[in-house]
Amino acid sequence: MANLLRDRRTAADWATVGQVIEIAEKLSGFERLASVVEADLAALESDMIPAHWRDSLIVGRLEFGFADDKQQLPMVRCEATVTTDAVCQRCLEAFRLPLEVEARLLLLELEQTAEGYDDLEVWELEDKDLRPQDIVEELLIMALPFSAKHVDSASCKALYSEPREREEKTKPFAALRAQMTQDH
């Protein structure tokens, strides 16, 4: 069966049939996202790179429709989650980074505008045809943190191995308090 995620049709075509696409794909099928993750993991020694990072499962759903009653403005609801591998910028070890995106996008052509849809984000269509995967992929890439860090700080060696030393070095609240006293 053809994978609808990789089909190309106009936004109006997707919207007219109210296309719903269930997503359950390995990260390896999302080439741009995979190349971003790969570049991040390249900071690790090769034997430290998680063996199956390309197999992380992207799960979600796309639902096309129209934003307006006249069926002039195509839109799509997109939800997707993946737990990918990333390098913690604090301890420089690999960890599992959960990503979640949820968006309602108004699919507009370049230069096109629409008033009164402030609850939707505008998605500019660069080509006549739209490939649903590109939307999911770009949303996930945008959701990647600029500087990834262990979500659970107890797992982060940089924080956990020498807690006392760290505490001596950084006392953000003490510094803040000192500054506030000065201001008064």
9 binds Zn ion (CB under 5 A): no
- Contact yes or no for 41/50 (Cβ under 8 A): yes
In the bound complex, what is the minimum distance in angstroms from residue 37's beta carbon to Zn ion?
A: 17
Stretch that binds Zn ion, among 58-66, 91-99, 108-116, 124-132 (CB under 5 A): 91-99
Q: Phi first, then psi: give them for residue 79, nearest 5 degrees.
A: -130, 135
Pick from 54, 61, 90, 96 the residue near Zn ion by CB under 5 A. 90
| Min CB(154)–Zn ion separation in Å | 10
Compute the distance between CA of residue 119 and CA of residue 145 in angstroms, rounded to an integer.
Answer: 24
Phi, psi of 44 (to 5 degrees): -90, 155
- Of the candidate spans 6-14, 122-130, 144-152, 164-172, the one that interacts with Zn ion by CB under 5 A turns out to be 144-152
Q: If binding is defined by CB under 5 A, does position 37 make contact with Zn ion?
A: no
Name which of 143 and 156 has its Cβ closer to Zn ion.
156
Work out which of 15, 25, 73, 150 binds Zn ion, going by CB under 5 A.
150
Please report, to the nearest 10 degrees, the dihedral formed by the alpha carbons of residues 140, 144, 149, 150 taken in order. Answer: 0
Q: How far is the CB of 90 from Zn ion (least distance, A)?
A: 4
Return d(Cα 56, Cα 85) in angstroms, integer: 8
Q: Please choose, from the candidates 78, 83, 86, 84, the residue with its C-alpha nearest in 3D space to the C-alpha of residue 133.
A: 78
Does 44 bind Zn ion (CB under 5 A)? Our answer is no
DSSP strands (E only) in the chain: 9-10, 20-26, 57-66, 74-87, 94-109, 121-125, 129-130
Closest distance between Zn ion and the C-beta of residue 158, in Å?
Answer: 5
User: Contact with Zn ion (CB under 5 A): which of 11, 15, 67, 88?
Assistant: 88
Which residue from 4, 91, 141, 148 is in contact with Zn ion, where contact means CB under 5 A? 91
Question: CB-based contacts of 121: which residues, under 8 Å, 6+ apart?
Answer: 103, 104, 105, 106
Interface residues with Zn ion (CB under 5 A) are: 88, 90-91, 150, 156
